């Protein structure tokens, strides 16, 4: 007897092991790493039993919620891989504007349920990403420039600690662990079984602008985007995506898409908030120009997901920066020149300047976020495309403040993701709550 949940654990020689292991990773590039046993929890008691099992047998633990870690962080050699994707309950209390949500709940599913009650949460921009990994790392979602990284809306968490205890943690209970849970990301050292969330009223108006430019105009577009970055209304998410084709706009040559969601109290306010984007010096040469149109979550998700098809192989890397356009442009030119075919893409996200954040492990961000998504279908192309994101970011490393854990590639390119003070405190809190190192840490750290 293994004391693990009956019928829901798979040792390496068991039928179903490989299926259970591979199912924990959304990226078609499933890591070659093999845990000793994969456990699928369906309730908190399974989590407690698994943690105690690992403790008794001296095994390390990796935890998976939605499996959207690009690097498959939770899949390590040896130890236990604990899959909590089935902990996906959701209780919404509209009167107190709070919800208790399991880590296996998809962010887009949560957003849909809230919208039905005229409520809102800064859930991620993509379908499939679950709130477990998303909230631990920060969480850059709808209207996050106003509401903050989503972890600022985590009021408390239910966790199982390294010694198998069930705790509720918040600002008054185990405050250190609560501090760590909002930003430790894939290095968190307990299992989250539920998040207690603060909700918001649904913004009366959601809309967006859309511009598509030929990629030859990059030398005008990015310096302009940098020059207006501090003035972009915080209700506007200015995202600039470059790729070798824009099928949605009927473009089979390289293009730059500027799709910017906006949240406001009225259509007039929304259009006014977006009007700065009309000042692009290349505006008259836009292939598509829609200064404002109403939109809804379903339309947005469909648009975003066209860049992230499932069944493809992904390799990502990223950086935060406040560098000038002059300093950034040589690196951007290299990114565009070396970019693999669509749907590989380069994202420029206008984020800062940010307000003072809560006191939490999440402690590093900057004005501009650059992320590279290598996307291809055939394993035979791994050698050609898998290094594109990392190599280009490494060449621009002198311009980076640090990286986001959302698109982390720490195993291949360790880089700062929290302030030095936060890193030191994370180490101290880990030593208190996980003295034996039961939970895997980040795959790399600076
Ligand atoms: C297509 C796609 C789109 C994305 N879009 C966005 C976006 O718009 N905004 C954004 O901020 N991020 C985005 N991301 C990044 C995403 O938020 C992170 O990869 C996040 O970690 C995924 O959460 P998950 O639960 O699905 O993944 P998982 O792979 O299950 O979790 C990631 C890591 O978090 C830890 N973890 C997960 N669950 C638990 C738990 N219950 N207890 C303890 N530790 C746990 C583990 O270390 C795990 O390896 C996107 C990723 C993809 C693949």
- Nearest atom, ligand 1, residue 440 CA: 47
- Residue percentage of the chain with pLDDT more than 90: 96
When pLDDT is averaged across residues 398-424 and rounded to a whole number, the result is 98
**Per-residue confidence at 340, pLDDT binned at 50, 70, 90?**
very high
- The pLDDT of residue 404 is 98
CA contacts within 13 A on the Cβ side of 383: 1
CATH of domain 90-202: 3.30.465.10
Phi/psi at 146 (nearest 5 deg)?
-95, -45
CA of 249 to the centre of ligand 1 (A): 30
**How many whole angstroms from 66 Cα to the centroid of ligand 1?**
6
Ligand 1 pocket by C-beta < 6 Å: which residues?
26, 63-70, 73-74, 84, 103, 124-126, 129-130, 132-134, 136-137, 139-141, 186, 188, 191-192, 308, 406
Measure the CA–CA gap between 432 and 162, rounded to whole angstroms: 10
Ligand 1 atom at minimal distance to the Cα of residue 107:
26
CATH 3.30.450.20 fits domain 205-399:
no
Domain ranges of the chain: 9-83, 90-202, 205-399
pLDDT in tens, 196-235: 999 999 999 999 999 999 999 999 999 999 999 999 999 9
Average of per-residue pLDDT across 333-358: 97
Determine the average pLDDT of the residues in 322-351.
98
Residue 443 CA to ligand 1 center (angstroms) comes to 15
CB–CB of 127/26 below 8 Å?
A: no
**Averaged pLDDT for residues 104-120:** 97
* pLDDT on residue 2: 59
pLDDT for res 249: 84
- Per-residue confidence (pLDDT) for residue 1, from 0 to 100: 45
Q: Where are the beta strands (DSSP E) in 58-109?
A: 61-64, 80-83, 90-93, 98-101
Distance of CA 375 to the CA centre of its chain: 16
Q: Is the pLDDT of residue 341 over 60?
A: yes
| Of the candidate ranges 19-33, 50-64, 238-252, 380-394, the one whose mean pLDDT is the lowest | 238-252
Tell me the per-residue pLDDT of 134-155, one tens digit each, with 9 for 90 and over.
999 999 999 999 999 999 999 9
Residue 251: the pLDDT is: 87
| Alpha carbons 188 and 196: distance in angstroms, whole number | 17
What's the CATH fold of domain 9-83? 3.30.43
| Mean pLDDT estimate for the chain | 97
- Short-list 339, 329, 389, CA closest to 70: 389
Q: Whose CA is nearest to atom 52 of ligand 1?
A: 68
Identify which of 129, 130, 411, 112 has the alpha carbon closest to the alpha carbon of residue 121. 112
**What is the residue whose two structure tokens read 């690196």?**
331
Closest atom of ligand 1 relative to the 187 alpha carbon = 47
**For the segment 81-108, what is each residue's pLDDT rounded down to a tens digit?**
999 999 999 999 999 999 999 999 999 9
């Amino acid at each position: 007897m293994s004391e693990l949940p009956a019928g829901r654990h798979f040792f390496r020689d068991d039928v179903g092991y490989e299926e259970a292991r591979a199912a924990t990773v959304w990226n078609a590039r499933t890591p070659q790493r093999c845990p000793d046993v994969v456990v699928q929890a369906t309730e908190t008691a399974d989590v407690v039993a698994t943690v105690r099992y690992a403790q008794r047998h001296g095994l390390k633990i990796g935890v998976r919620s939605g499996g959207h870690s690009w690097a498959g962080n939770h899949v390590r050699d040896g130890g236990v891989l604990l899959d909590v994707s089935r902990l996906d309950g959701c209780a919404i209390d509209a009167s107190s504007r709070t919800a208790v949500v399991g880590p296996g709940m998809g962010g887009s599913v949560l957003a849909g349920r809230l919208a039905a009650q005229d409520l809102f949460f800064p859930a991620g921009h993509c379908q499939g990403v679950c709130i477990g990994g998303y909230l631990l790392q920060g969480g850059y979602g709808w209207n996050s420039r106003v509401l903050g990284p989503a972890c600022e809306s985590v009021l408390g968490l239910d966790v199982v600690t390294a010694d198998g205890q069930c705790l509720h943690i918040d600002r008054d209970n185990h405050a250190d662990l609560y501090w760590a849970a909002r930003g430790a990301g894939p290095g968190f050292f307990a299992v989250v079984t539920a998040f207690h969330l603060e909700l918001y009223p649904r913004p009366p108006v959601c809309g967006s602008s859309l511009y598509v430019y030929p990629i030859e105009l990059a030398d005008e577009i990015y310096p302009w985007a940098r020059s207006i970055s501090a003035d972009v209304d915080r209700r506007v998410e200015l995202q600039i995506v470059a790729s070798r084709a824009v099928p949605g706009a009927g473009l089979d040559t390289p293009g730059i898409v500027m799709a910017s969601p906006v949240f406001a109290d009225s259509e007039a306010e929304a259009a006014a908030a977006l009007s700065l984007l009309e000042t692009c010096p290349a505006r008259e040469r836009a292939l598509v120009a829609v200064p404002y149109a109403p939109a809804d979550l379903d339309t947005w998700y469909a648009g975003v997901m066209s860049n992230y098809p499932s069944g493809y192989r992904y390799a990502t890397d990223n950086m935060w920066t406040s560098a000038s356009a002059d300093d950034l442009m040589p690196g951007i030119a290299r990114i565009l020149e070396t970019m693999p075919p669509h749907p590989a893409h380069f994202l420029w996200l206008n984020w800062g300047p940010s307000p003072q954040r809560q006191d939490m492990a999440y402690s590093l961000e900057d004005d501009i976020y650059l992320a590279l998504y290598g996307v291809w279908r055939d394993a035979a192309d791994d050698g050609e495309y898998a290094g594109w994101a990392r190599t280009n970011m490494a060449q621009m490393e002198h311009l980076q403040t640090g990286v986001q854990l959302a698109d982390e590639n720490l195993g291949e390119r360790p880089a700062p993701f929290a302030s030095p003070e936060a890193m030191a405190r994370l180490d101290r809190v880990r030593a208190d709550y996980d003295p034996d190192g039961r939970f895997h840490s980040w795959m790399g750290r600076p």
